[in-house]
Structure formats: structure tokens, C-alpha cells
Amino acid sequence: MLEHADKNRNVIFETLTGSGTRYAIVQRYLPEIVSAGDCRVILVDGEPVPFALQRIPDAADHRGNLAAGARAQSRPLNDRDRWLCSLIGPSLAAAGMIFVGLDVIGDYVTEINVTSPTGIRELDKKHGVDIGGMLVNAISRKLET
């Protein structure tokens, strides 16, 4: 996290970008991360699982990352989550993305994770869903066509 007036800002950007020879991805700080954490919304073949894994950061860190000490909670999807999924899900499914995790902070999607969307064990255990079964069914449908 970098404050706008941070005196090390220039050296941080120079280091991250190799003095402008590489790209770096940055995002605006979303203060909702502190109070509500980030939510992982799982999509299976473009359709959202009805619950989100909410990751609340530890007081010593701003990242909603379980490996960094965040605690896991879950909640039903809200209207905003469903709206975001309705916009993003069909394009992901059309591109062949069968198992995807959207990370949402506040009202914003901050990441679309297509390589390692974790959180299914926590959601299965808490809510009795079978996300792995949903995924196998989606793959089976694709193989039948």
C-alpha cells in the first residue's frame, strides 16, 4: 500500500517497472477491505455458486489473503455480486473458462482468478454445497457436446 505523498513513490515505481521497461499492475486502495474484507465469488461454467467466501484481513495486514492471516467467513451472494456475475460470467463461459473465482472488494471486481480459484472447501463445509460436483457436471456436459 502506497500513500499518494510517499517520498519513496518514485523509487518504488522505478523498481517495479525496471525504470519503465516493464508493466506493473496497481489498483486504487479500497477501504472496504478493512471492514468487510474481500469476497471470492466462484463461477462454474459462468454461473455463480450461491455463497461467497469472505476473507477479512488481520489487523496487522491489509490483504484479504488466508495465507497472510485473514480469517474466513462466508455469506450469501448479494444483488451486486449477482449483477457482476451476470455481466462477466457469460463471457468467461464463452471463452471456455469453466472454473473461475471473482475477487470483489466493495462494489469492484479486483481480480478474475482462472488459475487457482480457492475457497470451495470452506464453502462446501459451511453451506453443504458440492462445488466439486458442480464442476464435474459442467465438464461432463462439455464432453457430451
At residue 67 the predicted structure's pLDDT band, cuts being 50, 70 and 90, is: confident
pTM value is: 0.84
Give a yes or no: residue 11 inside a domain: no
Residue 138 domain-assigned? yes
Inter-CA distances, 50 with 10, 40, 46, 114, 129, Å: 43, 11, 13, 19, 9
* Domain around 111: 30-144
Rounded Cα gap, residues 8 and 128, in angstroms: 48
Amino acid at 13: F
CATH, residue 89: 3.30.470.20
Tell me the three state secondary structure of residue 87: helix
What's the domain count of the chain?
Answer: 1
Task: Give percent of the chain with pLDDT exceeding 70.
Answer: 100
* Domain assignment present for 19: no
In a domain, 6, yes or no: no
Looking at residues 13-17, what average pLDDT do you find? 93
Each residue's pLDDT tens digit, 43-62 = 999 999 999 999 998 888 77
